[in-house]
């Protein structure tokens, strides 16, 4: 009956029906979703008819996005927002989930407003919904695009089962500065890998057809260059050349447009003096005109009003004027459009046609989701009961946590540990459910569902009497009261496993850090136990690269697990005890110290490059007190086996501009166990019209090999892969000499050359 109440106004408008029976029949026909009934022409006709009878206030309501409130039991909404929804002044809500709650809110719009236009529900579904996967930076370390897509697919399945239509993900900002807390939400420092992961996540969230109820709208954020704030301080100024912007920071966003992303979110920062939420060059000239984006653009939280402290708007009315004229369709939480758009139209600063254009983009996506057929189609209690945290979802999360872990050190085959060994498990994160799932955890349970490392170890250790545990210290405090307990249990053990790192709140939004050492007195505890002379394994949980020079020198093994998610404890135990083999590779460079930051692999040579064994190094681009090289380079990660690269070649040495370049290399597992290897192909243009990086990732392939097995890996490149922004900012390849590199990381590489004529 509720669906009938909603459908009646629209089909009176569109078809002039006078019978309730006829109207219901039309609705049911549409619900079949044949290609004919859901054609673009039919949608455009529907939108024309609807928009033609909407008042200006109703249109502005569709441009407004407001948040629910929050209590320990979950999201709630205040009476004022309920009133605004009933009045049609709020057309979209975020931070709402669960079938019961979203259905309650949807009824306010569908059954109380004049036209019954359904609400759109958005939420930060970043790395899982109920089943939490590793943080996005961790997932990127898997270099497994199918697994990353599947992670987003599962997140969409669970979120949509709880009434959510739209996620504020993926974050596709490139980041080369680990001081920046939101590096945890992205795919690292490399533009090629970042674009591939961005496309995989969009595909995972949106599927092939938005009309399917297990899909949600994706949102490419934060547009643009949010990952490059000065000093790594969140929300800070971004100032860079047009060449750098287009070469490094825009390609992942362009890739999401090509992948069909539904929405874009503006960044908080300014870009070369113009805040992103008022930046017509970014939002209209590039995004709409150059790239052809057809979805809608939403701001980040209150960022329209933040144009005032940015110093480009005198008040919130002025800010609303700037934002809509720049190309912002939807206002998140500022209330600026709600309060001032009608006045701005009356003043002649904004036209109703502009508002209508934005409304059409938003309504089109509501249509594609099927909300005009059945506004409650995402409110299915059966799906909610059946699709959350299923065994299949939990196993996928466990597998992704295994794939994401990076083995940074493993002297003398310290890992894996035999299950009959006596193991001391120590560290503030060893039995911590709250922090193991990281930040931005959607509707994830922090208190009962996550599996801790201690729980994972208990599943593996043959004799429980051989497992000793104590926290030893807190994450970020100077308390040493448990040090002696830690030392005492370490004395009993054959091997000591230390689980250390950051709290979830130390990375993510508004979580920039200048000291990237292990926080609190964690390193002091490591030093105290090191004196015992026992084999020591350091397991890390963190949302960014840390500075680990002392740890690298003194630990026998180091396993980077990021924040591994709901099943993290099981996954870590799988790796530590050899039931799985680490295969992750770093997607952000680990510095030796913060003085090297920003640090990344694809640097330029400079006019005075430092040469490791050169004769005169004083007047070279270098530091006096530390090596130029990182502690761990981009693409780095060890395995319990070893791999050998041979027969690296191109199919010929000279190519014409439009010819395909065929490349091959043979990889052999030279160890004793099965393992996965990420084969990485890099390229350098040796002489060009502008300065270019020493190497750039161009392709990669993740392969699995049994002991002594060899596999020939092939790659193809075209002239597009050789192109760059030339002196006149045209994007093209130039003839000349090129060098190709292949190997296990960005530093350990075989080389070959070719010429482009």
Q: Is 416 left (phi over 0), alpha (psi -120 to 50) or beta?
A: beta
Q: Which residues, other chains included, contact 612 with Cβ-Cβ below 8 Å and sequence gap of 6+?
A: none
When pLDDT is cut at 50, 70 and 90, the band that residue 263 belongs to is very high
Q: What is the Rg, in whole angstroms, of the alpha carbon atoms belonging to the chain?
A: 27
Tell me: pLDDT of 36 over 60.
no
In which residue are the tokens 């030392």 written?
487
Lookup: tokens for 201:
């996540």
**CATH 2.60.40.10, domain 643-756, yes or no:** yes
Among 363, 402, 392, 482, CA closest to 43 = 363
Of 4-13, 134-143, 174-183, the one with minimum mean pLDDT is 4-13
What is the structure's pLDDT at 30? Answer: 43
User: 193 with 247: CB under 8 angstroms?
Assistant: no
Up-side HSE of residue 642: CA atoms within 13 Å toward CB? 5
Q: Is the pLDDT of residue 612 over 80?
A: no
pLDDT at residue number 153: 99
Instruction: Report the alpha-carbon distance of residue 68 to residue 191 in Å, rounded.
Output: 35
Predicted confidence (pLDDT) at residue 545 exceeds the cutoff of 70: yes
With residue 568 as reference, give the H or E element that holds it.
Answer: helix 568-576
Which pLDDT band, with edges at 50, 70 and 90, does 73 fall under? low
For residue 34, the tally of other CB atoms under 10 A from its CB is: 9
Q: What is the dihedral of CA 270, 271, 274, 275, to 10 degrees?
A: -30
Query: Poorest-confidence range of 9-13, 544-548, 703-707, 736-740?
Result: 9-13
Quick check: is 30 catalytic?
no
Residue 298: the pLDDT is 99
pLDDT digits (tens, 9 = 90+) for 307-317: 999 999 999 99
Residue 409 predicted with pLDDT over 70: yes
The residue extents of the domains of the chain are: 395-596, 643-756
632-678: per-residue pLDDT in tens? 999 999 999 999 999 999 999 999 999 999 999 999 999 999 999 99
Give me the pLDDT at residue 748, please.
Answer: 82
pLDDT of 25 > 50? The answer is: no
Percentage of the residues of the chain whose pLDDT score is greater than 70: 95
Helices 191-206 + 251-258 axis angle, to 10: 30
Q: What is the spatial distance between Cα 122 and Cα 111, in angstroms, rounded to a whole number? A: 21
Residue 360 pLDDT > 50: yes
pLDDT band for position 3 (cuts 50, 70, 90)? very low
Confidence of residue 233 (pLDDT cuts 50, 70, 90): very high
User: Cα–chain-centroid distance for residue 493?
Assistant: 39
Question: Mean pLDDT, to the nearest integer, of 179-202?
Answer: 99
Q: What are the CA-CA distances from residue 424 to residues 491, 529, 556 (Å)?
A: 8, 11, 15
Q: What CA–CA distance (Å, rounded) separates 445 from 136?
A: 18
Catalytic residue among 300, 321, 380, 556: 300
Q: Using CA of residue 641, residue 644, residue 645, residue 647, what is the dihedral sign?
A: negative
Q: Is the pLDDT of residue 226 over 90?
A: yes
Strand-strand pairing, 64-67 and 92-94: parallel
Q: Is 292 left (phi over 0), alpha (psi -120 to 50) or beta?
A: left
Helix ranges restricted to H, 272-370: 280, 307-310, 316-326, 336-346, 352-368
Give the pairing of strands 661-669 and 643-650: antiparallel
Mean pLDDT of the 123-127 span: 98
Q: What is the mean pLDDT of residues 225-253?
A: 98
pLDDT over 80 at 92, yes or no:
yes
Mean pLDDT for all residues in the chain: 95
Tokens (6 digits) for 523: 């390193």
User: What's the confidence (pLDDT) of residue 72?
Assistant: 65
pLDDT of residue 13: 44
CATH topology of domain 395-596: Rossmann fold (3.40.50)
The answer to whether residues 534 and 490 touch, using CB atoms and an 8 Å cutoff, is yes
Instruction: Indicate the pTM of the whole model.
Output: 0.95
Distance, in Å, from the CA atom of 679 to the CA atom of 333, rounded to the nearest integer, reads: 45
Helices then strands, counting H and E runs in the chain, come out as 25, 28
DSSP for 238-288 reads B---HHHIIIIISHHHHHHHHTT--EEEE-SSEETTEEGGG-HIIIIIIII
Cα–Cα distance between 45 and 524 in angstroms, integer? 69
Region of 321 (left: φ > 0; alpha: ψ -120 to 50; beta: rest) is alpha
Question: pLDDT tens digits, residue range 281-326?
Answer: 999 999 999 999 999 999 999 999 999 999 999 999 999 999 999 9
Instruction: Tell me the CA end-to-end span of the chain in Å, nearest whole number.
Output: 70
Query: What average pLDDT score do residues 542-563 get?
Result: 99
Pairing of strands 736-743, 724-725: unpaired
Region of poorest pLDDT, from 36-45, 118-127, 382-391: 36-45
pLDDT digits (tens, 9 = 90+) for 475-524: 999 999 999 999 999 999 999 999 999 999 999 999 999 999 999 999 99
């Amino acid at each position: 009956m509720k669906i009938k109440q909603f459908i009646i106004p629209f089909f009176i408008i569109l078809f002039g029906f006078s019978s309730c029976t006829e109207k219901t029949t039309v609705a049911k026909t549409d619900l079949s979703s044949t290609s004919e009934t859901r054609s673009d022409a039919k949608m455009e006709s529907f939108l024309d008819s609807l928009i033609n009878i909407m008042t200006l206030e109703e249109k502005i309501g569709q441009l407004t996005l407001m948040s629910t409130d929050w209590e320990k039991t979950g999201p709630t909404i205040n009476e004022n927002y309920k009133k605004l929804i009933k009045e049609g002044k709020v057309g979209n809500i975020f931070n709402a989930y669960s079938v019961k709650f979203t259905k309650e809110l949807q009824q306010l719009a569908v059954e109380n407003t004049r036209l019954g236009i359904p609400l759109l529900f958005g939420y930060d579904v970043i790395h899982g919904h109920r089943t939490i996967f590793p943080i996005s930076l961790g997932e990127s370390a898997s270099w497994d695009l199918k697994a990353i897509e599947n992670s987003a697919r599962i997140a969409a399945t669970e979120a949509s089962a709880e009434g959510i239509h739209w996620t504020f993900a993926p974050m596709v900002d490139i980041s080369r500065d680990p001081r920046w807390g939101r590096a945890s939400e992205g795919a690292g420092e490399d533009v090629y890998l970042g674009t591939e992961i961005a496309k995989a996540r969009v595909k995972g969230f949106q599927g092939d057809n938005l009309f399917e109820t297990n899909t949600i709208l994706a949102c490419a954020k934060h547009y643009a260059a949010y990952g490059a704030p000065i000093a790594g301080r969140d929300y800070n100024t971004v100032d860079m050349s047009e060449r750098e912007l287009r070469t490094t920071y825009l390609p992942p966003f362009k890739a999401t447009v090509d992948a069909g992303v539904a929405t874009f979110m503006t960044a908080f920062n300014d870009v070369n003096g113009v805040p992103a939420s008022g930046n017509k060059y970014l939002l209209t000239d590039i995004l709409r005109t150059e790239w052809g984006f057809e979805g809608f653009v939403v701001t980040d939280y209150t960022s329209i009003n933040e144009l005032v402290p940015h110093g480009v708007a005198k008040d919130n009315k002025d800010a609303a004027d700037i934002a809509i004229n720049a190309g912002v369709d939807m206002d998140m939480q500022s209330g600026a459009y709600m309060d001032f758009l009608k006045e701005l139209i009356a003043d002649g600063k904004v036209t109703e046609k502009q508002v209508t254009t934005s409304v059409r983009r938003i309504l089109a996506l509501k249509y594609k989701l099927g909300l005009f057929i059945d506004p409650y189609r995402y409110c299915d209690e059966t799906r909610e009961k059946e699709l959350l945290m299923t065994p299949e979802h939990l196993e996928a999360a466990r597998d992704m946590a295994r794939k994401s872990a990076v083995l940074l050190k493993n002297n003398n085959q310290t890992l894996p540990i035999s299950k009959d060994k006596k193991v001391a498990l120590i560290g503030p994160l060893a039995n911590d459910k709250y922090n193991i799932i990281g930040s931005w955890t959607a509707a994830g349970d922090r208190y009962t569902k996550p599996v801790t490392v201690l729980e994972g170890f208990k599943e593996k250790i043959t004799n429980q009497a051989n497992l000793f545990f104590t926290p030893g210290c807190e994450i970020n405090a100077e308390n040493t009261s448990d040090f002696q307990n830690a030392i005492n249990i370490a004395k009993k053990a054959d091997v000591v496993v230390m689980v250390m790192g950051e709290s979830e709140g130390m990375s993510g939004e508004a979580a920039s850090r200048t000291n990237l050492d292990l926080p609190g007195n964690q390193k002091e505890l490591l030093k105290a136990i090191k004196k015992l002379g026992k084999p020591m394994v350091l397991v890390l949980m963190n949302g960014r690269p840390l500075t680990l020079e002392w740890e690298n020198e003194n630990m026998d093994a180091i396993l980077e697990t990021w924040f591994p998610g709901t099943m993290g404890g099981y996954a870590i135990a799988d790796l530590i005890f050899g039931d799985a083999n680490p295969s992750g590779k770093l997607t952000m460079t680990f510095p030796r110290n913060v003085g090297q930051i920003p640090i990344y692999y694809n640097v330029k040579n400079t006019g005075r490059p430092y040469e490791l064994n050169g004769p005169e190094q004083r007047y070279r681009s270098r530091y006096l007190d530390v090596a130029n090289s990182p502690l761990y380079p981009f693409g780095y990660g060890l395995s319990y086996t070893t791999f050998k690269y041979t027969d690296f070649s191109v199919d010929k040495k000279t190519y014409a501009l439009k010819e395909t370049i065929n490349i091959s290399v043979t990889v052999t597992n030279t160890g004793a166990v099965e393992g996965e290897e990420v084969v990485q192909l890099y390229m350098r243009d040796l002489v060009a019209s502008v300065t270019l990086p020493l190497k750039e990732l161009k392709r990669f392939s993740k392969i699995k090999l049994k002991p002594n097995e060899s596999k020939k890996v092939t790659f193809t490149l075209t002239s597009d892969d050789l192109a760059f922004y030339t002196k006149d900012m045209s994007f093209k390849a130039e003839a000349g000499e090129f060098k190709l590199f292949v190997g296990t990381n960005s530093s350990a590489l075989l080389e070959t050359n070719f010429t482009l004529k």
